[in-house]
Structure 1
Amino acid sequence: MNSRKLLLTFASVFSATIWASEPAVYTGLLSNTGAGGYDTVSYFETGKPAKGSREYTTEHLGVTWRFASAENLTRFEANPERYLPAYGGYCAWAVAQGYLAKGDPQHWAIRDGRLYLNYNESVQDRWLEDTEGFIRQADANWPKVLE
């Protein structure tokens, strides 16, 4: 293959990678762990986030989920949709604005049985000013923002 064809092949593969849609679950750049490794069941069961353990893991939606206990792992496996963060763990406020940003497991809220993560404290403060309105906007934008 001559150098021009090689360059064109490389460019087409590279540009396809750049323009590929985003994954449905946020895991970070060098990770395959959902919710930053936090136990998503803990938010519902104890009302606060708990760091998950490598000892209690499962795969769901192509992502590794960690839990603080065998009981929480069992709860998740019985009904993962109940415990998954909304919008794949991306920042709920950002999704409402029409774009993606990481969700931080330390900045969260539960509304109507759903776990929402936000980028940081100031973003969460903005989100809490009109949670219901932002949820409506985010629901309308999801999953189109992944494209």
Structure 2
Amino acid sequence: MATPTTPTTDAEQTPSAVERRNTETVRRYLRVFETLEVGELKDLVAEDVVVHGAGQHVRGRSYPEGSVLTPGLSNCRLRVDDLFAAGDRVSVAFTLTYTHDRTGRDLTMTGVKSYRLVDGVIVEFWGETDLYGLLRQAGLVPAEIPAL
């Protein structure tokens, strides 16, 4: 005989206040890629944020600022494909579409990032983006890597 399951309450399904605040911080951070308002990063990202990705481990808000202001790419449109918040972490899968300034063509890059926040501020994040795919679309690397 099957045992009845206990229905979950709304409180069990509702994200905590910390998770809601952290999610909003990450969404505001991602919007900066569209608005280019890097001054807003002061409220969202710690000055000594630790950034892990592309084989690097670096410290400082200047790294995300540089990512926002990538030369040669403009008119960023961001789509959040998936977002998950748990405690002090927020993970996001996203798609960025840029206009390539030299050709006027749209270039698309996907990525996954995981952010750690303290008091609603990003203090550390990990992630990777499909930079090779973006460069391939721009014609800067071959479509296929030649065999050795």
**TM-score, normalised via structure 2 length:** 0.27
TM-score normalized by structure 1?
0.27
- Higher helix proportion: 1
Q: Which has the larger radius of gyration?
A: 2
